[in-house]
Amino acid sequence: MTATRPLAVIILAAGQGTRMKSAKHKVLHPVAGRPMLLHLLASVAELRPERQVVVVGAGREQVEAAVAGTGAVIAVQEQQQGTGHAVAQAHDALAGFAGDILILYGDVPLVRAETMRAMLDRLNMGDELRAVVLGFRPEDAGAYGRIITNGQGIIGKMVEYKDADAAERAVTLCNSGLMAVRSTDLFVLLDQIGNHNAAGEYYLPDIVMLPGAQSAVIETEAWEVAGVNSRQEQAMIEAAWQDRRRSEVMRDGVTLIAPETVFFAYDTQLGRDVLVEPNVVFGPGVKVADNAVIRAFSHLEGANIGQGAEIGPYARLRPGANIGAKAKVGNFVEIKKAELNEGAKVNHLSYIGDATIGAGANIGAGTITCNYDGFFKYRTEIGAGAFIGSNSALVAPVKIGAGAIVGAGSVVTREVEAESLCLVRPAQEGKPGWAARFRAGMQTRKAAK
């Protein structure tokens, strides 16, 4: 990056979002498990801006809550009078700032920090540019505004589709709306634009066409500047993000058996030689160490998976699940806020919540930790090498000592000492011939009806 001037960022988020048909603000709808606006702010943070301003209209309270702690401040556009008018609302928040200003959109979440840097670099190449506009060439230019250049990246004209003639609409270079401008120019230029256009609005791109210095365009790929105005477009952005993430993890040494069926969150971390089988969903907060195996139809969120561990198939790991090296969580097992130490096994049809499972312990099929009494949560502690028989209920708070064995079907309510056997079941009683007599009697009753 060559640009070293102070940086401020204006993010426009004042659109009504009516096509989303939602009480949630449009820019807070998620992509890969994170609100779109926070995707954008995370990329912005890499540039270490001095100031960040989010311009909102309706839904201010939602946006303020979402950006708390990010360093962004809120400016309000009370009336929707176009993008130029929206940017002008950031004037007071940027009072006294001297440097470069990036203008971004809260519903265009996938813009990379590298692209923002490229815009700033071009602005500061020394040829006294007024602005740098980010352009793209979509497969279908549709109703995007067009950019006409001199062939050397200098803009000759920018025109909204509604105001363009046939020749201008035939141009394939489109305006993303993203722009880099010097602080000394931006608000002076905004004061000079009018609203004499088909929509009667103040268009931000009009500052480029005011008499005076030249402006330039740099290009990026269409996916990076795709915006969200509807649920359908949100799904398209999600699909594009997932496709790229799948490619990234495979390049980094992860095997995806059926890539198109695996879904990642924005912060999923996978080590090398991890194997992910089909139909796996990673929610936020998942870290998977080298050589782990995530089998089909598993759902993970807020979980840490140790080296060489095996998860699933059909496993669910909820927040606070910490799975140690070479541990095993099998089919139809749910783990929540629990630690499985190295080599521990929970193979079948079990629920382990608010618990610590010692190294090498084995939890039999159908075992549950009874961790909630309707008011409070309690912990279960199972020592290293312990064996819990199938269909056992461990009523927390309770401790099972290292090496202890709990017989199948036990309901454990008190501490089990290390290396001891715990059996909680009635004595087995046998009645010879009873089954044959029972069947004969029932058949006679049935025949009598």
Residues 114 and 207 in one domain: yes
> Can you tell me the distance from the alpha carbon of 163 to that of 129, in angstroms, rounded to the nearest whole number?
25
Q: What is the dihedral of CA 288, 115, 59, 203, to 10 degrees?
A: -160
Mean pLDDT, rounded, for 140-144? 89
**Residue 194, C-beta contacts closer than 8 angstroms, at least 6 positions apart:** 202, 206
Mean pLDDT, rounded, for 18-43? 95
Residues 262 and 304 in one domain: yes
Q: Quick check: bond before 259 cis, omega within 30?
A: no
Half-sphere exposure of 25 (CA within 13 A, CB side): 25
Residue 407 belongs to domain with CATH number: 2.160.10.10
**Residue 430: inside a domain, yes or no?**
no
Residues 284 and 171 in one domain: no
Residue 3: its pLDDT value, please?
Answer: 52
**Residue 446: inside a domain, yes or no?**
no
pLDDT digits (tens, 9 = 90+) for 77-86: 988 899 999 9
Q: Cβ distance 338 to 353 under 8 Å?
A: yes
Q: Cβ distance 116 to 134 under 8 Å?
A: no
φ, ψ at 305 (rounded to 5°): -115, 125
Residues 236 and 127 in one domain: no
Among 163, 201, 150, 203, which Cα is nearest to 179's?
203
pLDDT, the chain, mean: 95
Mean pLDDT, rounded, for 69-96? 94
Residues 18 and 70 in one domain: yes
**Residue 438: inside a domain, yes or no?**
no
Residue 180: its pLDDT value, please?
Answer: 97
> Is 85 tagged catalytic?
no
- Residue located via tokens 């401790």: 399
Mean pLDDT, rounded, for 277-299? 98
Residue 127 has pLDDT above 50, yes or no: yes
> Can you tell me the distance from the alpha carbon of 355 to that of 295, in angstroms, rounded to the nearest whole number?
23
Q: Is the dihedral of CA 114, 142, 241, 15 positive or negative?
A: positive
Residue 1: its pLDDT value, please?
Answer: 44
Domain final residue pick, 195, 225, 255: 225
**Residue 448: inside a domain, yes or no?**
no
Residues 170 and 261 in one domain: no
The count of structural domains within the chain is: 2
**Residue 449: inside a domain, yes or no?**
no
> Can you tell me the distance from the alpha carbon of 206 to that of 212, in angstroms, rounded to the nearest whole number?
13
Residues 274 and 130 in one domain: no
Count CB neighbours of 333 within 10 A: 25
Among 167, 168, 15, 163, which Cα is nearest to 81's?
15
**Residue 436: inside a domain, yes or no?**
no
> Can you tell me the distance from the alpha carbon of 404 to that of 316, in angstroms, rounded to the nearest whole number?
27
**Residue 366, C-beta contacts closer than 8 angstroms, at least 6 positions apart:** 348, 349, 350, 390, 391, 392
**Residue 1: inside a domain, yes or no?**
no
| Strand locations in 16-127 (E) | 30-31, 34-35, 51-56, 72-76, 100-105
Full-model pTM: 0.90
- Residue located via tokens 């002008």: 88
Domain final residue pick, 170, 198, 225: 225
Q: Is 396 exposed, middle or buried, given 0-12, 13-18 or 19+ CB atoms closer than 10 A?
A: buried
Residue 134 has pLDDT above 50, yes or no: yes
Residues 178 and 203 in one domain: yes
Residues 194 and 321 in one domain: no
Mean pLDDT, rounded, for 345-355? 97
φ, ψ at 385 (rounded to 5°): 75, 5
Give the three-class secondary structure for 117. Answer: helix
Q: Cβ distance 302 to 287 under 8 Å?
A: no
Residue 136 belongs to domain with CATH number: 3.90.550.10
Among 159, 30, 44, 173, which Cα is nearest to 107's?
30
> Can you tell me the distance from the alpha carbon of 240 to that of 442, in angstroms, rounded to the nearest whole number?
65
Among 387, 299, 295, which Cα is nearest to 345's?
387
Mean pLDDT, rounded, for 176-189? 95
**Residue 440: inside a domain, yes or no?**
no
- Compute CA distances 30 → 16, 199, 240, 246, 275, whole Å: 17, 30, 14, 18, 27
Residue 304 has pLDDT above 70, yes or no: yes
Show the tokens assigned to 133: 């506009």
Q: Cβ distance 438 to 421 under 8 Å?
A: no
Residues 84 and 188 in one domain: yes
Residue 101: its pLDDT value, please?
Answer: 98
Among the listed residues 25, 29, 91, 348, the single catalytic one is 348
> Can you tell me the distance from the alpha carbon of 275 to that of 284, in angstroms, rounded to the nearest whole number?
19
Which domain covers residue 172, as residue numbers?
Answer: 7-225
Count CB neighbours of 54 within 10 A: 29
Residues 205 and 281 in one domain: no
Domain final residue pick, 225, 251, 281: 225
Mean pLDDT, rounded, for 33-52? 97
Residues 88 and 23 in one domain: yes
Q: What share of the chain is helix, strand, coil (3-state, %, to 5)?
A: 25, 30, 45
Helices (H), 284-402: none
